[in-house]
Chain A
Amino acid sequence: MRLFILSLLMVVGTAYATIDAYEFDDYEKEQRFRALIGELRCPKCQNQNISDSNAGLAKDIKDRAYRLINEGKSNQEITGYMVERYGDFITYRPPMKPSTWFLWFGPFVLTSLAIVILLIRKLKAKPPEPVSVDAAKHKKVEDLLKKLDD
């Protein structure tokens, strides 16, 4: 049994190794590569980054990114390089420009608007009128309370 589990573990180990086909001579580059392929979106598969995708195109883009990193390009340069080819679609961080302003500022604008409206309502609301009770009623309530206490 133990042998069986051990052999299973070995199978898993090799499967993982084949996924990780990109080798780097320096740790910093590897970290950058991982961050980069997590942020690039696969143009073929709508909503997957190229790190998760098994599409042939995702592999091509990974290969190109790998080459560019080893040529000494920064992540920003590589993202720009890919946007030049595939457009803004390829990055999960949309650039700031007039057509994306709503995307970037919309939530903040709407939240501030809601806060302003709530504040105005709060300030405009009339303070509650003090409750006035005449002496006789007051006396009655006091008596009832006393009764409860006894």
Chain B
Amino acid sequence: MSRTRLLLFSLPLLAFLVMGYFFLRALNSDPSLLPSTRIDQRVPAFTLPSLMDARAMISEQDVKGPLLLNVWATWCPSCKVEHPVLNELSKNGIRIVGLNYKDVREAAIKYLEFNGNPYQENIYDEAGDLGLDLGVYGAPETFLIDAEGVIRYRHVGVVTPENWRELLWPKWQEMGGKGP
């Protein structure tokens, strides 16, 4: 077989290998995970009422960390799963600000009374406006915000003891956060 023929015949094999590589990668990646476009940017400007007190207004000036900005709602089943973890973190001195996302105020307040309140403050985003500006596409989501109010990381999905230890805790320390 001549050299060019060998080359020609190996083309399909090569194409197969390249495609196989990408398909294999696609198998192991979760297509529902979107990268955040807000990393290394400031928390977008907003003025929204506090969940606990409708007359108290909260703005981006109040979201300076190091803190966790946790997007949650009473309609979100996964949020119930991570709630005990947040309670634990809060007990250990991690500052958590809640973004109560597209929820009903009374229901949210009752929920916190019943399940414990890990949040130092809760932003009441009834229409999902701040959520949209943050690129939130579901709950729960957790943003790591540094002392300047810059978003350092976004975690989509439940915070578990495992991913806190392995993923979020190192990032938390990296941006100067203290705690357990």
Contact = CB atoms under 8 A, between A and B. Distances in A.
Interface of A: 43-44, 46, 56-57, 60-61, 64, 83-87, 89, 117
B20 interface: no
A60 B138 contact: no
Contacts of A44: 137-138
B134 interface: yes
Interface residues of B, number: 18
Contacts of B64: none
Contact of A86 (B31, B127, B137): B137
A80 B134 CA distance: 15
Contacts, number: 37
Interface in B111-169: 127-128, 131-135, 137-138
Contacts of A89: 34
A15 to B, nearest CB: 25
A22 to B, nearest CB: 16
A51 to B, nearest CB: 17
Chain B interface secondary structure, helix, strand, loop or mixed?
loop
A86 B34 contact: yes
Given A86-B34, A89-B34, A43 B128 contact: no
A84 B38 CA distance: 8
B29 interface: no
A118 B37 CA distance: 45
A61 B134 CA distance: 13
Interface string B6-20: 001000000000000
Given A57-B128, A60-B128, A85 B34 contact: no
